[in-house]
Structures are given as structure tokens and as C-alpha cells.
Structure 1
Amino acid sequence: MPPIVITASEAHRLGALADSSMAVFPRVAQFLARETDRARVVADDSELPDVVRMGSRVRYRDDETGDVREVVLVYPHEADIALRRISVLTPVGAALIGLSVGQTIDFKTPSHQTRAVTILAVKQQS
């Protein structure tokens, strides 16, 4: 697994989200919990221009298909696929959090397939 970085407030909020979602979405909630547990946690005011954070616009490649997608990573209540706003409580959303440009991660889809994505670009929303 590639090293990941998240801010202290995001670590707290994502950990709480994972805990509260275990009964409803156990597989992705466990994955999100593992990701937040293994992350290097930094101060909220840290400069992380190339790191996927909540609210980041992310361009990534599906390494199996070669498809490139651009999405904004959001909390579940903000998700809207028509606006390309994906929830961190989806398998790909949980996989993206904390990654840096150039990193690749494997994750399991809801159909239990292993997929890999590579981060191509990150833009922080202001």
C-alpha cells in the first residue's frame, strides 16, 4: 500500500464516518477505517497541494481500462454523480483519500474485483 497523508480534522471526521457506517456499508467502512488508521496525520494547516483531500478535484486513471476520470471527493451527503462528486464512502473514494500524484492503489469493487487507480493530478478547491 502506498503511504498516505491526511489532516488531523479529516482523520477525525473520516474515522467517525467509518465507525458510524459499519452496520450499513461494512466492507467500504472497514477499508476507510484501515486507510485512516495507516495514514500519516498532519496539522490542518499543512500545505498538501498534490495530496487528495476532501473537496479535492482529482484526475485518476483506471489502470485496467486506461479510462481517465476527473471527480471531486466529498462526504456522502454531498455526493452527486451527475456533477462528478463521489463519496469517500465508496470503494474508489476511500481508495483515493490521502494519495499523492503518481501513486497507485488497489481496491476491491462491490463485485469483489480488484482494481487499481493511479493519481494523475490533484487540484485543491478554494
Structure 2
Amino acid sequence: MSVAFRRDSDEEHKEPRPELPIPVGPNLVTPRGLALIEAKAAEREAALADLVAAGGGEEAIEAIRRELRYWHVRRATAQVTAPPADPEEAGFGSRVTYKQAGETRTVDIVGDDEADPAAGRIAFTAPLARALIGAGVGDKVDFAGRPEALKLVAVAPIPED
């Protein structure tokens, strides 16, 4: 039979899955963020061991290994960073309370892997965090194309959980 009529297996045409994207720049973390990274790595290691012991499929095992590589890189590159020396200045590791359009909001400025906007934790690389970093209590800062859109009300280190 001619090779032209042979059916190749699906495996021969699979594209390799790319690695999980690593955020650009330094991997700044709070102590809580480092603990979260370590917990995620341990969780994925345990899941991999369970899946291998249960004779899981190669595709599922590779998916967990992919995640595990991400968390190992994040743990290896983590830089635990203290809040700013000036407690009145917003920076990495700060809890910032600000007013925007008459509403008062509070956010914690944290690392990329620890960010959870719904819980009030934003990455230091987020536009809002970049607008707040370096500002002090009483300062008005530009945000989202609006001059003096935010007014800082309070700045403090993030309390340790």
C-alpha cells in the first residue's frame, strides 16, 4: 500500500504543549507568597506521586510535571522582599487604602503568584499597583488616564497571617 494512503496515528501530529509562562521581571514575594509557592509545589509533587502510583495516563502525568516545573522555577527564583523602609510610602508589601471617585478601597501589593484581585491582593506589576508605588499618605496620583484619580488615605505593612 502506498504511504499516501496510510493513516498516521494521532500521536505523530501532536504539538508539544508549551511551558507555563513565567512573568517577566523579578519574582518578588512576601513571606506569605513564598509559603504559597512552596505549598503549591508540594501539592503538585503529591499529586504526581499519587498519579504515578495509580498508573495514570501519560498525558495527565505530563500536565502535572509541567505545573511542577513552573512552581519549582518560581520557588528557585523567589526573592522575599520587605515592605518599604518608610511606612508612609506605598510599595511592595504594603497595604494601601485609597479613595477613588468617592469610594474607599484597600489593596495589598504582592507578588505575581500571590495576586488575587477579588481578595484585594494585586501584583506589583498591575497598573493600579504601579500608580500607587512611591506615593505617600495624602498624595494624589494619576490613574487610568485621569489626573489625580486616586488619593492615598493610609499605608501600612501587610499584616502577617
Q: For the superposition of Structure 1 and Structure 2, which TM-score range results when normalised by the shorter chain?
A: 0.5 to 0.7
The answer to whether residue 72 in structure 2 is matched with residue 59 in structure 1 is: no
Cα distance between partner residues in 1 of 2:25 and 2:104: 31
The answer to whether residue 155 in structure 2 is matched with residue 117 in structure 1 is: no
Out of 94, 101, 106, the position equivalent to 1:70 is 106
Task: Please report the TM-score for the alignment, with normalisation by the length of structure 2.
Answer: 0.44
Question: What amino acid does structure 1 have at the position aligned with 2:107?
Answer: V
Tell me if structure 1 keeps the 8 A contact 2:84–2:90.
no
Cα distance between partner residues in 2 of 1:89 and 1:45: 16
Consecutive aligned runs of 4 or more in structure 1 exceeding 4 Å deviation: none
Q: Which has the larger radius of gyration?
A: 2
Question: Structure 1 residues 114 and 80 mapped into 2: Cα distance closer, same or farther (>3 Å)?
Answer: same
Question: What amino acid does structure 2 have at the position aligned with 1:114?
Answer: R
Aligned-pair Cα RMSD in Å: 2.5
Matches for 1:1-126 after TM superposition, within 5 Å:
16=25, 47-62=85-100, 65-108=101-144, 113-114=145-146, 116-125=149-158
| Post-superposition offset of 1:59 | 0.3
Residue 73 of structure 1 aligns to a residue in which SS? Answer: strand
Cα distance between partner residues in 2 of 1:49 and 1:55: 10
Cα distance between partner residues in 2 of 1:95 and 1:101: 14
| Post-superposition offset of 1:46 | 7.2
Of structures 1 and 2, the one with the larger relative CO (CA 8 A, separation 6+) is 1
Unmatched runs of 5 consecutive residues or more in structure 2: 1-23, 27-81
| Post-superposition offset of 1:95 | 0.2
* Higher fraction of strand: 1
Q: Which residue number in structure 2 is paired with residue 37 of structure 1?
A: none
* Higher fraction of helix: 2
